[in-house]
Structure 1
Amino acid sequence: MTGRRVCITGMEVLAPGGIGAKNFWNLISEGRTATRRITFFDPSPFRSRVAAEIDFDPEEFGLTPQEVRRMDRAAQFAVVAARNAVADSGIDLAGYDPHRIGVTIGTAVGATMGLDEEYRIVSDAGRLHQVDHHYAVPHLYNYMVPSSFAAEVALTVGAEGPSTVVSTGCTSGIDSVGYAVDLIREGSADIMIAGSSDAPISPITVACFDAIKATTPREDDPECASRPFDGTRNGFVLGEGSAVFVLEELESAKRRGAPIYAEIAGYATRSNAYHMTGLRPDGAEMAEAIRLALDEARLNGDSIDYINAHGSGTKQNDRHETAAFKRQLGEHAYHVPVSSIKSMVGHSLGAIGSIEIAASVLAIQNNVVPPTANLHTPDPECDLDYVPLTARSHTTDTVLTVGSGFGGFQSAMVLTRPDRSDV
């Protein structure tokens, strides 16, 4: 590693209820929720019938009819977010060696919506056992390989450096950004376009989560269905979205007078090698990821001003990360505010980690901790300060954001205010 420091100089967020970073921040800082009964298809046959959907017209956001035809919805999200993040950074990528510009995009389920829809078409809504491929979209291969997401973003921004898709389940959105940071630090790239995208609200995804009872069956009040850390929680609410960032070496960004949102000071990931969906109750692996991220940032646990939790709203996950915070931070865990934005924008699987990084950056920018919506009945086993219902003004120089994914993946990232003292 070269020891180069890495910062965020541009970003864009496509999230339920708030397309664009400003609209996204307004939603979560006001404690509003974007969860509703599923409208993309008839959800009545399913156990879970609520989701956090985006009202997204691709042509309204600059995609051509050919691009819409070629790309799955999640790829469309990523391309729009990347274009807007580059514009937000003010960087002229044409002035840089394209071989020094890279792309990392995270996704958990790839082109799920496109594949689901194309199977419906080629099988005549399941009527044909032997499907007729002539009815498929011409670019069906792009739906089959998630690497097409990174390829589309690289094509959009003219990046000819490292181009990678990271797929580590629900930690993909943190891991893709963490990997991009490592590429800049080691000198393999100067600029990275990094983030994640998922659009999983399809019958096959809903059926899969129904089968393991991971999503909530609560539908009487969809806006209140996602209840992280609440004693009445009974599963997460599926979501969709994307967040993409422009990452640069800090001193280079300063020289060009770039707007610097935050420094990515530390990142680590671990696996529990335990169970595909189960979690050990002691939170040891997440605690270890937190420890290593803090070590990389050269900070101690008492420096953390806010924790952006994974906070999915499942019984075991919320207890697991509560235990991890206590295990690693000790007494400070009881004094630092913690919240889950999944209470407002749902769980967009591989995309949510990047969306939560964006929330963490905006918390630093605004010195405001977004709330955990729908937290009315605290779970005695989740006894930390989860900032219920209402945002809180709070000096926020250092944020810890964490993720937990099927397969036992546990990731942590430390973001700091860009004008902090040199470490």
Structure 2
Amino acid sequence: MTTGAAAGRRAVVTGVGVVAPGGVGREAFWKLLSDGRTATRRISLFDPAGFRSRMAAEADFDPVAAGLDARQIRRMDRAAQFAVVSAREAVEDSGYDFAAADPARTGVSIGSAVGCTMGLEEEYVLLSDAGKHWLVDHTYGMPHLYGYMVPSTLAVEVAWEVAAEGPVALISTGCTSGLDSIGHGVQLIEEGSSDVVLAGATDAPLSPITSACFDAIKATSPNNDDPEHASRPFDAQRDGFVLGEGAAVLVLEEKSAAEARGARVYGEIVGYAGRSNAFHMTGLKANGREMAEAIRVCLDRARLDPTAVDYINAHGSGTKQNDRHETAAFKRSLGEHAYRIPVSSIKSMVGHSLGAIGSIEVAACALALDRQVVPPTANLHHPDPECDLDYVPRTAREHPMDVVLSVGSGFGGFQSATVLARPGVVDHQGDHRGEGRAA
């Protein structure tokens, strides 16, 4: 990968759009995080009776209220609706005039782990009479069923919103999709393929098939009697993650062009890296070596010393093995500095929305940099002795930040890391400027 410094082109975030549990929109999302509230509850989108885990973090999403028309609602799966609504908010927030832009220089990079799961399952249930028939009459299927079968339609819907005729891609790398899609968007700008990119991710996986899959491997929490406190990353009593849904889309622009038009810049994405453990589909090595390597390469590409990191937005899923693995990775990659900086997991509040969560977490990092506040790890009452870093229990914290690190871990052994920096903190040679540090 060619770094932005080598290519002379750099990517900054000028717009943020979010659909998340606990509230639709960037400000509702940030208020939930800064208040330390949780959006986990008993599943209402289908009857969860009979499932091992019967809770999730659902988005209170009304497509009509969100501005979608009847045809869009009919055509688009819930995941696509999330993506389009998030993209619209990001575009408005950025102030970028897409209508006047060269469409061939406008790109889209959207991540998703499970595509149009809800639409596909609903159509299968209808066509098969709830699974009674092996052979089905396809003429009863909705006219847009083919679009549900092709995950790239999620990226296409976003591209149509801004008439993007440049590179358009769907990135699907499991639970790191949201980080990897943003990393791909940054690369498009750095290499000169695009001047502006809508980058983010979406997933709406709250359906019986998804719940059944995670029940089978006992990855989700069975704490159904107390769903509000079921997601407990880094807590000694954690017993699995809580499913979520949502989307986040960022407007990425070439830095000098954004500055020339006087754009508000949330931060610059100065580094990104991905690695695989080539070890196990769902298992993680306790030493955290592969995640640590992703972090090391990410910081090297940003030309930042580990001591430059001021906050880590953790994957923090709340499973026993992930939280141990991640803690080890932070110590391995950052050394003693890992003990001196805050680390937190927003999955404690908004659940784990699979492929979407990485972009939602990067959106949280951009807002944290902008507001100089670290969101907390909710429900952390009994710290695990094996997870002995500063995990910001329960209450948000004002904290000076120049550089934040966000990481993700996904089935298949995927490990990804990205680094955001406040405007002016990293110079054109990629060196950390101490005088730019937040006061």
TM-score by length of 1: 0.99
Pair 1:80-2:82 in alignment: no
Q: Structure 1 CA distance, aligned partners of 2:145 and 2:275?
A: 34
Q: Structure 1 CA distance, aligned partners of 2:233 and 2:70?
A: 39
- Which of 132, 147, 155 is the matching residue for 1:150? 155
Q: Which amino acid aligns with 1:60?
A: A
C-alpha distance after superposition, 1:227-257 (max 9, x if no partner): 0000000100000000001100111000011
Three-state SS of the structure 2 residue aligned to 1:60 is coil
1:17 aligned residue: 22
Pair 1:286-2:291 in alignment: yes
2:281/2:412 contact within 8 Å kept: yes
2:73 aligned residue: 68
Pair 1:338-2:343 in alignment: yes
Q: Structure 1 CA distance, aligned partners of 2:98 and 2:367?
A: 25
Q: Which amino acid aligns with 1:202?
A: S
Q: Structure 2 CA distance, aligned partners of 1:19 and 1:60?
A: 10
Three-state SS of the structure 1 residue aligned to 2:323 is helix
C-alpha distance after superposition, 1:188-237 (max 9, x if no partner): 11110100000000000000000000000111111001000000001000
1:398 aligned residue: 403
- Which of 215, 221, 228 is the matching residue for 1:223? 228
Q: Structure 2 CA distance, aligned partners of 1:31 and 1:371?
A: 6
C-alpha distance after superposition, 1:19-58 (max 9, x if no partner): 1111101001110000000001110110000100011111
Q: Which amino acid aligns with 1:187?
A: G
1:375 aligned residue: 380
C-alpha distance after superposition, 1:283-340 (max 9, x if no partner): 1110011011111111111111100000000000000010000001010011110000
Cα offset, 1:421, TM superposition = 4.8
TM-score by length of 2: 0.95
5 Å-filtered alignment, 1:231-270, equals 231-270=236-275
1:129 aligned residue: 134
2:120/2:149 contact within 8 Å kept: yes
1:98/1:161 contact within 8 Å kept: yes
2:36/2:378 contact within 8 Å kept: yes
Q: Which amino acid aligns with 2:415?
A: Q
5 Å-filtered alignment, 1:277-356, equals 277-356=282-361
2:331/2:338 contact within 8 Å kept: yes
Q: Which amino acid aligns with 2:318?
A: G
1:180 aligned residue: 185
Cα offset, 1:95, TM superposition = 1.4
Q: Structure 2 CA distance, aligned partners of 1:14 and 1:173?
A: 14
Q: Structure 2 CA distance, aligned partners of 1:182 and 1:368?
A: 28
1:3/1:186 contact within 8 Å kept: no
Q: Structure 2 CA distance, aligned partners of 1:392 and 1:84?
A: 27
2:37/2:349 contact within 8 Å kept: yes
Cα offset, 1:419, TM superposition = 2.8
Q: Which amino acid aligns with 1:61?
A: A
Three-state SS of the structure 2 residue aligned to 1:375 is coil
- Which of 33, 52, 55 is the matching residue for 2:38? 33
| Structure 1 gap ranges (5+) | none
Aligned residues: 423
Q: Structure 1 CA distance, aligned partners of 2:181 and 2:235?
A: 30
Q: Structure 1 CA distance, aligned partners of 2:127 and 2:26?
A: 38
1:35/1:223 contact within 8 Å kept: yes
| Structure 2 gap ranges (5+) | 431-439
C-alpha distance after superposition, 1:101-122 (max 9, x if no partner): 0000000000000011111111
Q: Structure 1 CA distance, aligned partners of 2:127 and 2:100?
A: 45
C-alpha distance after superposition, 1:368-398 (max 9, x if no partner): 1110000001111111100001111100111
Three-state SS of the structure 2 residue aligned to 1:359 is helix
Hey, which bits of structure 1, 4+ residues long, moved more than 6 A? none
